């Protein structure tokens, strides 16, 4: 298989697992994706197809978790 085929398969696998977690958590639209994987357009496209809905992705999705962790740390330090 070509590299492109392997990457496409990985993207589909990640999207399928994520969509399954959304279903188990009874998630419903609108959907937001954060973290570094949100910068992977292939995963985003596959997940949008699985969910049947567009995903909102912040301009800096990889910073969302870091900012959240910093806010938790700030609260814990008070």
What is the per-residue pLDDT across 4-38, written as a single tens digit (0 to 9) for each? 999 999 999 999 999 999 999 999 999 999 999 99
- The whole-number average pLDDT for the span 34-63 is 95
Q: What is the pLDDT of residues 1-13, one digit of tens each?
A: 999 999 999 999 9
H-run or E-run covering 7: helix 3-24
Angstrom distances, CA of residue 46 to CA of 16, 38, 52, 63, 72: 8, 12, 10, 22, 32
- The whole-number average pLDDT for the span 53-61 is 96
- The pLDDT score that the predictor gives to residue 65 is 86
Indicate the pTM of the whole model: 0.82
């Amino acid at each position: 298989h070509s590299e492109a085929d392997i990457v496409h398969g990985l993207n589909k696998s990640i999207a399928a697992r994520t969509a399954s977690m959304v279903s188990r958590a009874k998630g419903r639209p609108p959907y937001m994706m954060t973290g570094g994987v949100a910068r992977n357009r292939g995963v985003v496209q596959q997940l949008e197809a699985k969910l049947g809905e567009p995903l909102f992705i912040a301009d800096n999705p990889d910073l969302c978790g870091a900012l959240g962790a910093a806010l938790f740390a700030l609260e814990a330090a008070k």
